[in-house]
């Protein structure tokens, strides 16, 4: 099953900032690859998807974290949830791991 991807305004801005920074081209490519994998299979082993409890409590719905990168300082993460519609994933944040 393939998912339709939806982005919050914050996630769109974060992706655009990443895309427009030549120094972060490699990171942008990793994020785009992760989003593509996410759209095909949110449980893909390379994404290391897991629920992020702090955001789940904040938003009142199950929020997940997927890795765009691993084992590197400032590695990017994609935070998302299922919905609003069936077959849809909403990306809420695209940020470096702190």
- The structure's pTM equals 0.93
Give the count of beta carbons closer than 10 Å to the beta carbon of residue 71: 6
- pLDDT bin (cut points 50, 70, 90) of residue 50 is very high
- Residue 52 is predicted with a pLDDT of 96
Q: What is the DSSP string of 16-73?
A: HHHHT-GGGHHHHHHHHHHHHHHHH-TT-GGGT-EE-HHHHHHHTS--EEEESS-SST
Structurally, the chain folds into a number of domains equal to 1
- pLDDT bin (cut points 50, 70, 90) of residue 71 is confident
Domain with 28 in it: what CATH number?
3.30.2310.20
- Residue 74 is predicted with a pLDDT of 82
pLDDT at 98 over 80: no
Find the domain containing 27 and state its range.
4-96
Between residues 84 and 38, which one has the greater pLDDT?
38
């Amino acid at each position: 099953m393939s998912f339709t991807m939806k982005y919050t305004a914050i996630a769109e801005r974060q992706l655009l900032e990443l895309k427009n920074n030549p120094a972060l081209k490699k990171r942008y490519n990793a994020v785009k690859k992760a989003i593509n994998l996410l759209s095909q299979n949110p449980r893909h082993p390379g994404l290391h998807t897991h629920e992020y409890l702090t955001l789940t409590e904040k938003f009142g719905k199950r929020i997940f974290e997927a890795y765009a990168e691993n084992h590197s300082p400032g590695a990017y993460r994609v935070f998302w949830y299922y919905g609003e519609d069936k077959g849809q994933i909403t990306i809420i944040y695209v940020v470096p791991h702190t």
